[in-house]
Structure 1
Amino acid sequence: MFNINQKPTFTREVQIPVPVDDGHENQSIKVTFLARQDAELAQYNTRTLEGQKQMLRDVILSIEDIVDDEGQPVPYSPGLLEKLMSWTFAVLALLSAYSKSMADARLGN
């Protein structure tokens, strides 16, 4: 049975391709997202970087597996999300993970 009033969430491991030397190093984080309805997602102008960031602010509920320079875990906070989103490559990886998960859900995969 489908619960029409649900607020579904899902957690994904997100690979972030961090630029290093002549290539990239994939670093992973675990992100819990809020699934939004199409009409809600349509309000964001995801053709702009600021529109992408605003959507991510609204759909990301938590992030895990982030450490500081000493290897100590960093707890999730809105400030941590903003710091992560200061890197375009992180924004693109987060958007890709969310979009792929939502598209897979639409296709029933």
Structure 2
Amino acid sequence: MTFACPACDGSTALKTNGGDSLLVNTIGAYTGSRMVDTPNGSVTSEFNVQATGSWTLTIADVTTIKPTSGAASGQRDQVVFRSGTSTKAAITNQGESNFAVNGYGGSFPELEANTIGS
């Protein structure tokens, strides 16, 4: 799922009726991609957008993401499809806000990193 509200200047939220109930909750502009229906058995059929500006919401299957087998980088919320097998990763962040990396593909989602700042 990719959601963009580049001109928003107030409260911006994207909620679902699925297991990932709150996908976006910020003040001001937002552009990013998020996984949907990550909890087992979760089925999302509705999205609720609260925004102060024009927005777009694009739903796509994870198979539409170009896989990468090497390094990946980006900004803001982003979905990266890592091909191949790995047991280690070097993760860096430069910023002042919350930074989290979630891993999917095993038996259950894994929180790989969760910190405030760099």
Q: Structure 1-normalised TM-score?
A: 0.20
| More strand as a share of residues | 2
| More helix as a share of residues | 1
Q: Structure 2-normalised TM-score?
A: 0.19
